[in-house]
A and B are shown apart, each in its own frame.
Chain A
């Protein structure tokens, strides 16, 4: 990873990472967070900011396949790693079965938690294709939803696992 001082003496780092399958090289500051790199520099605004402290799960992305809060990851730390955001879940026009299931089970209301919720569920189902209800609830317990009481979200994830 290369660092260059800009004319104000601030270090800028050139990092390379794979985002939703695309190899990208970008320049970030040391204190740039992954969530802000995604949203502000790469315009991937499907990743949301909700609390900035790792409590709400709105900014959940997959980092090398694991669900992480992108508000707690420095962009420089993502150098050389693979990231999946909500924009990378569908295969072009074809929605992922989790996305389909969220729609079919009325698991979406305001939608602000939905991206993170789907990515947490995606990480779970990839590792554990047939989870129990408790495993589903544990996997999404770090994704707060203020609209649904999680009822239909849990139903949607279990249904996607069945499918």
Chain B
């Protein structure tokens, strides 16, 4: 008999039928009686004082039901990061980026809303603006928030071990500088929210990754008890970090709904989404590493500056993550991390898939290839020599349990045929390697609280023919509803096909922090497992009475209760469940999960802590057109250590998707601005997400791994595969052409320019390289 009957199997997604038939309702698809449509007016200036807002013309337009500005909403500042509440629902004194929120309208229909927005007259006094983080930090730069001198949003200085001493002992100390670009999550579904009041109770249907944080911040903003705010996640069309925090649509919608006494649906258009942003930061990254003559890393110093945009969003965490995650994949003791996150007059940046980690990883992995080249060591071999081993602790005090970094590298080497290819492919073709690691859930919540991180309730239906799992865990497409139902069924001894799920509704489902930091399979999974076992124990207790057996000798699997001693003695789950209901009332299982206390005590120690870490190695093969710089990625091999796998099909699909995002960011995607801070490409034409014709062959493979801290041994996968990709391609391009592009994206033009410069240099110096 197989060890597990439900987990480890590629069952179809629980919502797939609803999604292939068009039945699945996303927030924008919902209609309520008497519902109005609303939209936010945003600033056309990057930095300007608001002198006057005249809404009178808009109010007169037939069909307009309400127009609101900062005067109509609470002035309490908010932000997802409690360390810096620096946003208002609507700007009060000044606007800080093109797209900052100024007013909102509710009207009978969309057309009227758009017309009304054009009728709101805002008088601005344009102020000098700053768009570059280094300029923003300079003396005399325009001050964006009065409270934050020199535009310093956060400053980090961490020092573990003794980097100076390590560098002094090193055979080679090398410094490289890289730049990561601004990118945007760009989920295909635009954000939307429907707010409605029944007396003093507010209900918000929305496109969210975390009903809990929405509920928490909406309640706080309006001074409501949490219990009077109900946040319901509908189907969500992708998030990738961009739907983790309230967007303004919820706040403005709630006020418009209260004023009009009608439900109000608010929505963003694609360009509004780009302006609201919360995507990847632009980052300037200087990395210095000291290695011995065998390439063993002795110490590393990461010195970074981030462009945070006009507000904090989740950026403080992003800033800490940028440095914190660099210590995971390789074993070294001395580490120094310096970071300044600067405010600029650009859209606020936040958490995008791989939160903080991908760009520093790109820098580190390119830098290590440079080190390997300088030492004459195969880059994969260099990584093997430094690979982290299980049951170790990083210099910044992250406890790593399972860790198959070495196995990932070795398997990637094998399946990609690395040894035959590295340095030996025909000109124009190249192969590169990079690694990555990510948290399986954050060790601490975003705001300070001792609530469990996840909780679950399972209610078995009276006749036992179905069981409904209630979780706050948030399925945004990644498939948590499906894997959590698999986990529930496994723990209960039940079948997946009979599972139902209600998730991510703050009123009907128990608390959970939501979909971010790749946390749900481990954390929500642990709560679900406990709830399932709770059901099973109660059921076996009942079965013991019915079968006249010691419950301790009974077990349940796939809906059949049996005696472990006399396996032919069985009872159906349904019969026992029914009997339980008749005798005791509802059969309910409960579970919750709180991570153990993790991490050190230094400032910022909690960021990056996690019960478990995933590891991955990626190898890619690229082809570069020598004349144009055009890059075609032919094949990518991703080998993951993600612990026990609950649903292989969905797991590999996560790898494909994470790689896809990494790929777009590597070569094509960049949010571009004009000289006045206006986004030049807030659309899906010039913000170039890869199309089906751009994608390489992807081989997603796994190594055996079991994580003691996770239920059944699980770890994360959703973000991990985004992290190595950029460095992996950059290294492959170097292998192909002998040029290194030190900034993202690795655009065709940049590669072309690097090739041109190389040719000119060779002409001058007469040297010849591949």
Contact = CB atoms under 8 A, between A and B. Distances in A.
Are A and B in direct contact (Cβ within 8 Å)?
yes
Nearest to B636: A149
A55 B685 contact: yes
B19 A144 contact: no
A102 B22 CA distance: 13
Contact of B477 (A45, A55, A144, A147): A147
Contact of A110 (B237, B683, B695): B237
A113 B235 CA distance: 13
Given A110-B238, A112-B189, A144 B689 contact: yes
A110 B15 CA distance: 9
Given A106-B10, A109-B238, A55 B683 contact: yes
Contact of B692 (A49, A90, A112, A150): A150
B284 to A, nearest CB: 27
B73 to A, nearest CB: 27
Interface in B19-42: 19-26, 28-29, 31
Contacts of B660: 146-150
A105 B648 CA distance: 11
A152 B15 CA distance: 16
B13 A149 contact: no
Interface residues of A, number: 57
A151 B28 CA distance: 27
Interface string A74-106: 000000000001110110000100010011111
Given A95-B17, A152-B656, A138 B188 contact: no
B187 interface: yes
B235 A111 contact: yes
B657 A137 contact: no
Contacts of B237: 48, 110-112
B684 A87 contact: no
A121 B164 CA distance: 60
A115 B22 contact: yes
A110 to B, nearest CB: 3
Given A47-B22, A85-B22, A111-B15, A141 B478 contact: no
Interface string B720-760: 00000000000000000000000000000000000000000
B44 to A, nearest CB: 20
B125 interface: no
**Interface SS, A side:** loop
B362 interface: no
Contacts of B659: 149
B236 interface: yes
A153 B238 contact: no
A154 interface: yes
Nearest to B13: A108
Nearest to B270: A51
B186 A146 contact: yes
B358 to A, nearest CB: 16
Interface in A26-67: 31, 36, 39, 43-53, 55-56, 58
Contacts of A158: none
Contacts of A109: 238, 477-479, 653, 657
Contacts of A147: 238, 477-478, 653, 657, 660
Interface of A: 31, 36, 39, 43-53, 55-56, 58, 85-87, 89-90, 95, 99, 102-106, 108-115, 118, 134, 136-138, 140-154
15 contacts: A48-B189, A50-B190, A51-B270, A103-B12, A106-B10, A108-B20, A110-B188, A111-B24, A111-B477, A112-B188, A141-B691, A143-B692, A144-B188, A144-B691, A151-B653
Given A89-B21, A110-B187, A137-B695, 13 more contacts: A49-B190, A56-B270, A95-B20, A103-B12, A108-B15, A109-B238, A109-B478, A110-B476, A134-B693, A137-B692, A138-B693, A147-B238, A147-B657
What are the 5 tightest A-B residue pairs by CB atom distance, in nearest-first order? A46-B22, A110-B477, A112-B237, A111-B19, A149-B660
